[in-house]
Structure 1
Amino acid sequence: MELIQSKDNAIVKEVRKLKEKKYRNEKGQFLVEGFRFVEEALKSQFDVPLVLISEKAEEKLQDFQNKNRLNDKLKLYIVKESIFNTLCNTETPQGILAVVNKKSINMEADKGFYILVDRLQDPGNLGTIIRSAHAAGASGVIMTKGTVDVYNDKTLRSTMGSIFNIAIIEDEDLMVLDRLRNKGFKLVVSSLEDSKCFYETDLTGNFIIAVGNEGNGISDEIYSKADLKVKIPMPGNAESLNAAAAASIMIFEAVRQRLTIE
């Protein structure tokens, strides 16, 4: 197995570029770090063309190979520790990272529910929403233009591997939203005005829960398309809820209602 010892190695240079969004978009690839995350990628339907392991973690290589079925197309390299660390975003790398090819998942279902994130900016919030949506069996997460990059390393880590298990749909022109609404999906948005209590809303049908920007909420364009305007009751009179917390509350109320009628 080849040992990479130079920071000027062509593979190292290409992997380092993927730390930037413009190169991720250009190459159609992203990076994942850590043994658990890499194993999740290998188990998924995503293609993993390259895995790099630091010299320091080389003793874990045999166990890693035994636990994972590595296909013939996957290239595996050992990398000098000091060079490997320059490729990572975490402060204490586990010693493994993988290049993953982006996968276009077009799963515009005829029934179920989606989460729409509208210009969300915090990577942790987006990752948590993706994780909650996956756990709840949602049909997918729709992202509008201006939302933080889903392949940002902080977003990816927050998904805890759910990124590989749920459809992520980028909808910059809102055509996906409009198609789903034409299929009968109801768009549910949170609003303090002219809204009903969220817990009085029937969520057993086909719908899309919209979650807005942390500071400004739902955009006017999305708001104008709303079929249902709701509010989560807050008896403690807090001004607002964290975006990911609000989304999770609504997601699992939908789960509760669906389980009740089964």
Structure 2
Amino acid sequence: MNISGRNPVLEALKSNRTIDCLYIKAGDKEGSIKKILSIAKEQKILIKEVDKTKLDELAEGTQHQGVVALVTDYKYYELEEVLDEIREKDEKPFFIILDEIEDPHNLGAIIRSAEGAGAHGVIIPKRRSASVNATVEKTAAGAASYMKVIKVTNLVSTVEKLKKEGIWIYALDMDGESYDTVDLKGSVALVVGNEGKGISRLLKDNCDFTLKIPMKGNVGSLNASVAASILLYEVVRQRRNS
């Protein structure tokens, strides 16, 4: 898999992702490229100077800003290992569960927001969902190198497991309570549904609460990644003020 763009590549280097080769535009060694090259040399990564045409080919339509890194495929995490780490740190679990988010740009944006909000993990289903690819890596602007993305076979059974860990499950849907009136300071998992269909009925029925973002205009809903960001940072706000 390739990661393109200066910030995503820089964060991949800083997080010790396994990088097989670094491609940079010939003659471009200024600004952040200079820092990227310095770290790559320290890590003894193979560096190749190529022309823009080659970079365009490697970037596969994403904006590369003169640099592309060839990396091993994204390593997904197991839910239990993330829960173990949370227990060791004695922290309140904080997850976001994505029910069939199909747009890689939405997935990348949610990963970026989740990482910024300090969430412990992003949980996605193995089927009918966008996976972490080059577009997700680029949209996440480096956050995918730090955020633990967990792929699970069944979201409903995963929700049941999280409940047994004392985690409250909050579904985002238009028929719920206003999100800013509900206590989100404890152990929480937020559920965001598909861009068109929303949250599946069975999954929604297994959530503890349903929250909504009040809409004052003529449009009835927000983009999935925007809605997810609002909920993520409401958790941050409440925890900070508790």
Q: How high is the TM-score relative to the length of structure 1?
A: 0.78
Matches within 5 A, 1:75-224: 75-90=46-61, 93-101=64-72, 102-105=74-77, 106-108=81-83, 109-110=86-87, 111-144=92-125, 145-151=127-133, 153-174=134-155, 175-193=157-175, 195-224=176-205
Equivalent position SS for 1:202:
coil
Stretches of structure 2 that go unaligned for 5 or more consecutive residues are: none
The one-letter code sitting in structure 2 at the alignment partner of 1:103 is K
Quote the residue 2:227 is aligned against: 246
The CA deviation at 1:256 is 0.9
User: Is the CA contact (8 Å cut-off) linking 1:112 and 1:207 kept in structure 2?
Assistant: yes
Q: Is the 8 A contact 2:172 2:210 kept in 1?
A: yes
Tell me: CA distance 1:90–1:253, structure 2 relative to 1, closer, same or farther (3 Å): same
After superposition, what is the alpha-carbon deviation per residue over 1:200-226, rounded to whole angstroms, capped at 9, x for unaligned? 211011111001011110012311211
Distance 2:99 2:177 in 1: 21
Contact 1:46 1:103 in 2 (8 A): no
Q: Distance in 1 between matches of 2:99 and 2:197?
A: 10
Unaligned runs of 5+ in 1: 1-29
For 1:183 and 1:64, locate their aligned partners in 2 and report how far apart those are by CA, in whole Å: 41
* Root-mean-square deviation over aligned CA pairs: 2.4
Secondary structure of 1:138's aligned partner: coil
Does the 8 Å contact 1:58/1:78 carry over to 2?
A: no
Task: Provide the rounded CA distance (Å) in 2 between the counterparts of 1:196 and 1:45.
Answer: 42
What are the within-5 Å matches in structure 2 for residues 55-66 of structure 1? 55=26, 57=28, 64-66=36-38
Q: C-alpha displacement at 1:118, in angstroms?
A: 0.8
Q: 1:206 to 1:54 in 2, by over 3 A?
A: same
Q: 1-side partners of 2:30 and 2:114: how far apart?
A: 37
Indicate the residue corresponding to 1:36 in structure 2: 7
Could you say what secondary structure the match of 1:216 adopts? coil
**SS state of the match for residue 232, structure 2?**
helix
- Structure 1 pair 238–117 and aligned structure 2 pair: CA distance change class (3 A): same
Q: Summarize deviations over 1:117-171 as a string: whole Å, max 9, x none.
A: 11112222211111111111111111123111221x3322211111112111111
| Aligned-partner SS, 1:87 | helix
Shift of 1:187: 1.2
TM-score by length of 2: 0.83
Q: Return structure 1 stretches of 4+ with deviation > 6 angstroms.
A: 58-62
Asked if 1 retains the 8 angstrom alpha-carbon contact of 2:100 and 2:129, the reply is: yes
Contact 2:121 2:150 in 1 (8 A): yes
Counterpart Cα distance in 2 of 1:99 and 1:190: 37
Q: Residues 117 and 62 of structure 1: is their aligned pair in 2 closer, same or farther, counting only changes over 3 Å?
A: closer
- The answer on whether the counterparts of 2:5 and 2:65 sit within 8 Å (CA) in structure 1 is yes
Counterpart residue identity of residue 159, structure 1? A
CA distance in 1, matches of 2:34, 2:109: 33
Does the C-alpha gap of structure 1 residues 103 and 91 become closer, same or farther in structure 2, counting only changes over 3 Å? Answer: closer
Count of residue correspondences: 229
Deviations 1:222-260 (A, max 9, x none): 112111112222233531121111111111111111011
